[in-house]
Amino acid sequence: MSDDRCYEVVIEVPRGSFIKRTPSGGIDFIAPFPSPFNYGSVPNTLSPDGDPLDAVLLGPRLDYGQRTSATQIAEVDFIDAGEPDPKIILGQRPMSRRDRLRVLGFFRFYAVAKSLLNRARGKSGSTQFRGFRDV
């Protein structure tokens, strides 16, 4: 795999955690179920929503704030309150069938939950998961 797909990621939601934190460390929300993945962001990047690029890291649980590097293996097409909000999927190996099903299920549910949260926060615009693709 080429080096241009290797990213450093900072873990904001450890696998198994219920708490989603903002990049600055504050609590964004408490999820109704534990995260099936390590979830974080890529430092020194900028996503269309103005935040660092979101990243899902497959593999064992890592600690909040831990930094690690991994290769991008897929990309999630996500719209948040009408704005593009892509997420990259990182791992040490290609996605298994189980990984694919977990990503699909998680982001379908996440889109519904995030849509409700956006409404409660007074944000308008569509929130939807539009699929993912291997890279």
CATH number for position 26:
3.90.80.10
Name the domain count of the chain: 1
The answer, yes or no, to whether residue 1 has pLDDT greater than 70, is: no
Q: Which two tokens stand for residue 81?
A: 């309150």
Expressed as residue numbers, the domain containing 110 is 3-134
Distance CA 63, CA 50 (A): 25
Per residue in 72-127, pLDDT (tens digit) is 999 999 999 999 999 999 999 999 999 999 999 999 999 998 999 999 999 999 99
What does pTM read for this prediction? 0.89
